[in-house]
Structure 1
């Protein structure tokens, strides 16, 4: 009787154990169950920006005015083209023998007895000074002399140059032996077809 009860109790325990074992899930034959892959979560554009704000220094009105506008192009200024100066070694042009002549009759002081008077019988002599754009003219310059007492022609002569080196161009010789009012005219021409004239008036007084 006792053995029957013990056997019944053991059967109950065995049944309970088998029932519990049948309710457990069978282990996986391929190993541990796969894990769910993780996904990268990107911040939404609507997410609030958590960066600290950058503090900007305010500009002064002068700096605002001076700051260039990157969208505006600078106008291209057209500068006048300057002509190149002539080279330093370029020689200036030599003035040409052109234009009118300036002629002066110069009486020598020999026998001069007053501001515009010479003594009768004196032989002072006379020369010319002739100028054009180049300066004083000498060679290529010719003089026609005419000495008059009143309206009478007393003496004529010619000179083959206009600037004497050490000679007198016009010699009076004995033309001033008589007192009176005299004029000496010099008509000048050049090889460059220039002309000029001058007349010098003077008195001859008795000695």
Structure 2
């Protein structure tokens, strides 16, 4: 099992605008952490720092595994882009193995399993533009699952999805936790946050509170 991820004295700015200030946190393998707070509180910025798509202005981030998956809140793929569900999910294996390597039989099996987990196996040959919002969200979460990452980052996974998708996402998160993955979720949904092992409340880029839920205290 990989080591915990540590953030020490993390600050971040977008130009002159501060987004995070003096953040000290740790994320342990086999746990789920929920990041909560209003818009502009720093949740997505923190996920970007963990994913390596952003760099801190100051401070140290350590223990981040090489294989990290980030599932953003909104896809950057245009609705009319002719990419299928299967190809989209397969991108998770390319990230795990390298873009220049063709997928093996094992990789294809992992892709099939991820699609089945998110209930989209029957949509494999449809393009993203043909999907509902919930189906698109499940597709991109399946892509993250297919990466089999040691650190899984989810940005507002329950935004504008139906109850079936909520249940599938919850089940997938539980399975990732059970496998030893470090899961960090940015969410506005307190029901989802309360099922996490650790709840972190951000307020205008600062750490307001950090709470261990009952299930983590009893672990």
Q: Name whichever structure is richer in helix by fraction.
A: 2
TM-score in terms of structure 2 length: 0.20
Structure of higher RCO (CA pairs closer than 8 Å, 6+ residues apart)? 2
Select the structure of larger CA radius of gyration.
Answer: 1
TM-score in terms of structure 1 length: 0.21
